[in-house]
Amino acid sequence: MISFEELTHSVHQRATGYSSCSPEQSLVYACEDIVDEVIGCQNITSENARLWLEKICEREDIDVPHLHIGKSSRTVRASSQAEVNAMCIRGSSTNASTVLHELAHLMSDGKSHGVYFRDEFVRLTRTYISVDYAALLHRLYFSSGLEVSPWPASARPR
């Protein structure tokens, strides 16, 4: 079994692979990668992602973003544009955390991977993936030096 310290070390190693990103963004991506590897995340077709996104937005009482399915890319899994309430999923399939990552952008400030984004993403993963997934993500954010609200805040309804 891998220790938590080894996971945190893996986050910092993985972050170096995101050389074109800011240090904060690199750590966020690396934390998400490690959680996906350790806990796993459901793969879904892009069309099912559209239906799932509609259900989430209804429950969250927010406007459903326009979802564009783009060409596959080796470097970009997805993107979002808050100014037009839209997101793009690259390829014919994705995973649940990628959809929630982009939705967290739309529900927060839209551009950065700052504390408000991280809080929203942890809350969404806790609600729509699992408590275990969100707990590990939260702990890795914190142990990697990223600011995040206390864990109990992630249980709050929007």
Range of the domain at 76: 4-155
CATH code of 58's domain? 3.30.2010.10
User: What's the pLDDT at 154?
Assistant: 87
Amino acid type, 46: S
User: What's the pLDDT at 46?
Assistant: 82
User: What's the pLDDT at 2?
Assistant: 77
CA distances from 142 to 53, 74, 111, 132, 147 (A): 28, 28, 21, 15, 6
Q: Is the pTM of this model over 0.85?
A: yes
Task: Return averaged pLDDT per consecutive 10 residues of the chain, 158 residues in all.
Answer: 87 94 95 95 89 96 92 79 91 91 90 92 96 97 96 81
User: What's the pLDDT at 73?
Assistant: 66
Q: Considering its fold, how many domains does the chain have in total?
A: 1
User: What's the pLDDT at 134?
Assistant: 97
H, E, C per residue of 4-33: HHHHHHHHHHHHCCCCCCCHHHHHHHHHHH
